Amino acid sequence: MTVPKYFRPDMERRLDGLDELARDCSYSWAHGADEIWRELDAEFWEQTRNPWLVLQTVSRARLEDLSKNEAFCEKLRVIVSAHRQALSEQRWFQAKQQQDIALQKIAYFSMEFGLSEALPIYSGGLGLLAGDHLKAANDLGLPLVGVGLLYQKGYFRQAFDADGNQIALYPASETSDMPISPVRINRGEWLRIQLVTPSRLWVRVWQAQIGRIKLYLLDTNDPANHPVDRCITAELYGGGSEYRLSQEILLGIGGWQVLQALGITPDVCHLNEGHAALLVLERARHFMRAHNVDFATALTVTRAGNLFTTHTSVEAGFDRFSPDLIKNSLGLYARELNLDLGGLLALGRIPGNNDVAAPFNMAYLAIRGSAAVNGVSRLHAEVSRDIFNPLFPGWPRYEVPITHVTNGVHVPAWDSMEADELWTNLCGKSRWFCEPEHLAKQFHRVGDQALWHLRARNRSRLVQFVRDEYSRELNVHSNLSDSEVEDLALRLFDPNVLTIGFARRFATYKRPNLLLTNPDRLARLLTDPHRPMQLVISGKAHPADLPGQRLIKDWNQFMRRPEIRNHAIFLSDYDMITAEYLVQGVDLWINTPRRPWEACGTSGMKILVNGGLNLSELDGWWAEAYRPEVGWALDGHEGEHTDADQADRLYQLLEQEIVPAFYERNGNGIPERWLSKMRESMTTLTPFYSANRMVREYTDRFYLPLAEKYQRRTVNGAQAGRSLSRWLSRLNDLWPKIHIARVNIENREAVYFFSLQIYLGDLTAQDVRVELFAEPIEGDRDNIHEMHIDHALPGAVNGFVYTISIPAKRPISDYTPRIIPSHPDAGIPAEAQAILWVK
């Protein structure tokens, strides 16, 4: 136990495990541990939600008193014992290991991680998703490590001036205040590595603990670095292109080198967005040196173990860097790969792009270096296939090799204490570790009164939080007395009124002001004397996003209207603490992105376990989840409805369906229609849209198959990988020699007959697959038919006649023959994009 020096041995023994809990970020979803930190310093705990900081600042006298408090010590012993047992017990993945699973280690790379307010290294949904992924990996027992960056200032903190304009603040975080520790090696020295960059950058390594999961965080604030380089990890998403590229070099290249220095060689690397794309180069470089192969072979082998998850719905959203910047920052590194600048740039460009000024696209690099690519919802995968279609010239959009795993949230991290108790009573303590579909039948038994009691308690806590935050703002920005502040705060909100939440990044495509389209109509809804609403808004706009900042100002101006002040509030500095109160307390969560620009959107998933309902655009996850029984939907298919149409539909739903459903009560004061949707939403949606389901899906569909593929390519001196690399090179060289001499198509009484004379040149029949293709249509998914060799062409080298007969179910003009590559270990078209259509 690492304890303050003044701890006596008996005090250390009685408080055993206290610092262990304080350093472990898994405390953030363990409600039982909250009692420990409240005992140490209740007020400071509520302000910071940082157990490590609470432990560092609590007085010696207070700790001595608690060490003599039998009730406290027994409570601590129980929690520490349960915590340690959880770290060692068998979980879902250990049960799978009994089936001779070869997967040894997964490395998850992300620019940000949202684990708790104690570790402010996140900005929004991407980071929260990454944090939830690590938490669920811990719950399921996955052999996973995280790799990210440690920011001195993190993402900006938000305040408002007197006119309601956003102000961006950058307070520095002290590493001593965070639940992290230096990574020490050998004889105890701090792990530091030096990168091959023009400035020979020194990198320090820290470690955060999330149960059994380790998260390694890289930091350039090393005194050995130039002052400019020390600032590379100062801010998350700060600075310009050069600053961003420096961070991505650090994450991708430095991250892999850190794992190697620790003796960790993952089977699978999971790239959470394109920020980590340079990892594929460094992993290949390491393989080149270890096995004495060229870059093409190394990339062929290592990409078998890389998974790329894209979260972006517009091509312009990916990080792109100018050729000059790539040359200046990575020119020396390209030599390490035995690549010239053109060869390096080609990895981040569309095939055949000869524009010397074309930027280097990190997402393109990630796709070229990964065996599998996925979007984060079904609709997002469709959008992504459109975006990345140029990387696969000649291939139909829907054959672009991008699938999807719909995001999920780590439910225990977002449920309220009351929700946790209710779910535990109905489904047991291990409910988020079991098969998701098993929960529905158990939870559906919940009674109306229990559900309504849950909503009332959660809403009341949110109302108190809103009042406390309002009081804090008044104390800072006004000269009112304590009694005047208390009086104003008590007028704000009502714990029995329909409470609506809207919180997210303020970007124009998210349309955060759609609800404000008609301010007077919204005001009437909020101030209705019989069926009022109350509204909580929160969110930040990037400091460079002036249109997003104007949207925030519009809300602040609206809320200053005298009749609105007690019914609506904009909570500044949206963070995980604010998010927790919101997702637990709101009755209705509104989401209004412009379809199909929302890749997934996980905020609405967080309210499910707490009994909140969704009113959302049919975009992202809601396009999959929505049914009339579980909530409400806008149906703004792009180009079909204007924003004014959508706003009118939003108001109509509130006026005619949502508000009446909330306020219409039976003789016991229960809103039966509302509770019917609550029960169905909680029962059917909560288990599926959980990180438990999401991480299981990643494991079964990607981690395990990719580990097997990677190991197959590396065994016996990478014999299979070397062979495949030679085949790919040979295919690219010889593909242009393929030609078709004759095509014969006949309609033979309800049967179509196709015959092709094909000369493959120096390729063999085993190198290709000849197919008859038709666009898929509703009711006929059998749209691709393999053609087979009827006979060899006399006197020809690799010349064959391919034939096929198929039922004449569609017009014969729908069908087109084509030739594609074929190899038992190659991903087609992920690794071999060649295709020849027979015109």
- Is the Cα torsion angle 261, 263, 269, 270 positive or negative in sign? negative
Q: Name 668's Cβ contacts closer than 8 Å, sequence gap at least 6.
A: 448, 449
Averaged over 476-501, what is the pLDDT? 90
Tokens at residue 485, please?
Answer: 């502040």
What are the pLDDT digits (tens) for 206-262? Answer: 999 999 999 999 999 999 999 999 999 999 998 899 999 999 999 999 999 999 999
Work out the end-to-end distance of the chain between its first and last CA atoms, rounded to an integer number of angstroms. Answer: 74
Averaged over 36-42, what is the pLDDT? 92
Question: Which pLDDT band holds residue 636 (cuts at 50, 70, 90)?
Answer: low
- The domains of the chain, with CATH numbers, are 9-88 (no CATH), 92-407+699-713 (3.40.50.2000), 431-689 (3.40.50.2000), 738-837 (2.60.40)
CA–CA gap between residue 767 and residue 775 (Å, rounded): 24
- What confidence score (pLDDT) does residue 1 get? 41
pTM as predicted: 0.95
At what angle are helices 323-336 and 241-249 packed, to 10 degrees?
20
Q: Name the percent of the chain lying above pLDDT 70.
A: 97
Averaged over 321-347, what is the pLDDT? 95
Strand duo 213-219 + 144-149: pairing: parallel
**Start-end of H helices in 685-764:** 691-698, 704-734
CA–CA gap between residue 43 and residue 58 (Å, rounded): 12
What are the pLDDT digits (tens) for 309-329? Answer: 999 998 888 999 999 999 999
pLDDT for residue 2 is more than 70: no
What are the pLDDT digits (tens) for 164-213? Answer: 999 999 998 889 899 999 999 888 899 999 997 787 899 999 999 999 99
Higher pLDDT, 32 or 92: 92
- Is the Cα torsion angle 318, 321, 327, 329 positive or negative in sign? negative
Question: Which pLDDT band holds residue 28 (cuts at 50, 70, 90)?
Answer: low
Question: Cis omega before residue 596 (within 30°)?
Answer: yes
Averaged over 132-149, what is the pLDDT? 96
> Lowest-confidence range among 155-164, 225-234, 477-486?
477-486
- What confidence score (pLDDT) does residue 110 get? 98
Tokens at residue 280, please?
Answer: 């594929």
Following CA atoms 422, 425, 429, 430 in sequence, which dihedral angle do they give, to the nearest 10 degrees?
A: -90
Q: Name 505's Cβ contacts closer than 8 Å, sequence gap at least 6.
A: 123, 124, 125, 539, 540, 541, 542, 548
What are the pLDDT digits (tens) for 575-633? Answer: 999 999 999 999 999 999 999 999 999 999 999 999 999 999 999 999 999 999 999 99
Higher pLDDT, 758 or 485: 758
3-state secondary structure at position 495: coil
Q: Name 641's Cβ contacts closer than 8 Å, sequence gap at least 6.
A: 635, 649
Q: How would DSSP label each residue in 176-217?
A: GGSSEEE-EETTTEEPEEE-SSTT--EEEEEEEEETTEEEEE
On the 0-12 / 13-18 / 19+ scale of CB atoms within 10 A, 49 is: buried
Q: Which amino acid is at 195?
A: L
- What confidence score (pLDDT) does residue 98 get? 65
Q: What is the mean pLDDT of the chain?
A: 93
What are the CA-CA distances from residue 9 to residues 1, 16, 20, 74, 261 (Å)? 11, 10, 17, 18, 36
Averaged over 39-61, what is the pLDDT? 90
pLDDT for residue 3 is more than 70: no
Question: Which pLDDT band holds residue 10 (cuts at 50, 70, 90)?
Answer: confident
Q: Name 452's Cβ contacts closer than 8 Å, sequence gap at least 6.
A: 669, 670, 671, 675
Q: Which residues pair with 537 in a beta bridge?
A: 502, 570
At what angle are helices 519-527 and 643-652 packed, to 10 degrees?
10
Averaged over 333-358, what is the pLDDT? 93
Question: Which pLDDT band holds residue 34 (cuts at 50, 70, 90)?
Answer: confident
Averaged over 119-146, what is the pLDDT? 95
pLDDT for residue 437 is more than 80: no
CA–CA gap between residue 298 and residue 199 (Å, rounded): 27
- What confidence score (pLDDT) does residue 758 get? 96
What are the pLDDT digits (tens) for 275-300? Answer: 999 999 999 999 999 999 999 999 99
CA–CA gap between residue 676 and residue 328 (Å, rounded): 61
- What confidence score (pLDDT) does residue 466 get? 95
Higher pLDDT, 341 or 782: 341
